[in-house]
Structure formats: structure tokens, C-alpha cells
Structure 1
Amino acid sequence: MSGQPAETLSPVLPHDVEDAAVALLTAACTARAKLVTAESCTGGLLASLLTDIEGASHAFERGFAVYSEESKCELLGIRREELDRCGAVSKEVAIAMAQGAITHSLGDVALAVTGYAGGAPEGQEAGLVHFACARRGGSTVHRVEHFGDIGRGPVRINSLRVALDMMRQALDEL
């Protein structure tokens, strides 16, 4: 792996995010681990970042961009009843997304993210984001962040930071 910065996204990403992505991919390559993403509010931004870094394609197994509730059910196997009961932005759905990503892939570590990056529906919290990271044959860890009403872009960038950190921690436990 060359450890080069993200070619496509580099002009718009903070250096710490790029550095964390390179470190994650280096660790995944060393561990011979495959990474998977299941993204809702980030819309595939994490997968794009992980595939923009040259020389690490063998560490990224696949990404699921599951923005709609239907795609969460169809691609990740989440039960419609669970979505209706908990809501798409919830701890339960984030965990189900991460576990579904592991089940429907060849990955070793799967990170799921679901939240309100921009305006939230009435009665919901802008900037609320749930993360879950699953390890094949291991545990699934949940984390919630309250980024606040800081705007769509900043919520998504902060979500990348959290996601990369969680995936790195999961790799350390393999």
C-alpha cells in the first residue's frame, strides 16, 4: 500500500480524516482484514474515501449505500417491523445494519451509520447520528453522537471521523 492521500476527495477533506483513513487501511492490510460499510446519512462517503486511497483496494470488500428504508430491508435484511417500531435513525437499526452488512458480505469488520445529517423531521434532533461496528464472529459496538444543527457537510465529516475510529478499534480487537 502506498499510503497516498485520498486522490478524489483530498481537496475537501480535513487532513486528520485522510490520515485516519490511511491508518485504518494500513491496519486492515496488515491484519489481512476486509472492511465493509453500510451507510445512510453519509450516502457512501465513507466507502468513497476508503476506495480513493491508492493501493488498498484489497482491504475494502464492499459498501452498501442504503439511504431508503426499502434498501435497508432489501440489501441488509432488516425487518420492516423493526424499522417501523424503532425508526431508521436508532440504535437498533444501526446495529441491524452493521450485522446485516457482515451477513451479506465477505467482510471482517462492518461499520454502519444512520442519522440526520441535515434538517431533521419535526420532533427529531438535527445532527443525531447512530453508528454500529460489527466484527465477524464477534461483538457489535454502538455509539451515538449529537453533533447538533451544524449543517449537512460538517455532520458528514464528523461522522467519517467517528466511523474510521470505530473501525480501527474493531480491527485492533481481531
Structure 2
Amino acid sequence: MNWTEMFFQSWSGIVRTIIVGTLAYVFLVLSLRVSGKRTLAKLNAFDLVITVALGSTLATILLSESVALAEGMTGLVLLIVLQYMVTFISIRSPSFSRAVRSEPTLLLRNGAMLSEAMHRARVTEAELETVIRTSGQRGFTNIEAVILESDGSFSIIDAAQKRQSSQSDAGT
């Protein structure tokens, strides 16, 4: 094993990384601006996969000398175009949308856990309790609903919030 190459191989590799990395980064930022906010929205697992794939592609462009800048830029554009096509078709086709996106799941209603929904979502009672504690609640009794969102986050609607919302809606 050549220990010196582990830490430094050549100045040309460093210069290549700086030049190609800067150009690839600028290209990615411009491409994301053109493609719109939805490309990195992370609304669901599919969006997260695209975000990770973009990062992985950028890293490959930066560090792999066998990938030319033009090839890497093509890969970035391809991922963005595919994301755009999937969202475009999803908006127009409910069946396609259901196939590529997950729906939010109601895990708790009126203080009662929905065991079957929790089982399908692979959420344990202990995890649900942790989510509720993290939100500042003391227990299930004051919770109107807990929803596992499409992006994997949890939404908690407590009964007091719902009453306040209903009262403010009635007052308008």
C-alpha cells in the first residue's frame, strides 16, 4: 500500500475537482432554479430518492475522473426531467399518482390508536408515544389525530387546536 497516495495523489486531481466541482455545482443550482421548487420538495419517498440521487450524481462528478463534466450534467438533467415527468403525469393521472406516491395514514383518532393502520405503517406504540411527547403533549387523551405524512413526518392535531380553529372559523 502506498501511504503517500492515500493523502495526496496529484495537483491535477485537486485542480480538476475544483474546476469541475464548481461548474457542476453552478449547473445544478441553475437547473434546480429552472425546474422549480417541486424538484427538491421531499413531499414523499419518491422525492427523497431524487434528492439523494442528485447529491450522489454531484459527488460522482466531483470525485470520479472517469466521469466527464458533460456526462455528469446529462445525468443531473435526466434526473430533473424524470422528476418533472413523474410529477406532471401524477397531477393528471390519479392511478399513476397512487402508484408512485404514498398517502398519509391516520394512526390515532380521538385519543385512540388505530392498531391496524399502525401495523401497516410499521409504527409501534412506543414510537407513537415518542412523537406525542416530542410535540409537547402529555398523552393520547388530548390528541384529536396523529397522521403519518407521505414524507415520513408526523402531524399532530390536538383537541384544543381543533376547538380554537373551529371557533375562529365560526367567528369569521
Q: TM-score range by the shorter chain?
A: under 0.3
Structure-2-length-normalised TM-score: 0.26
Structure-1-length-normalised TM-score: 0.26
Looking at secondary structure, tell me which structure has more helix per residue: 2
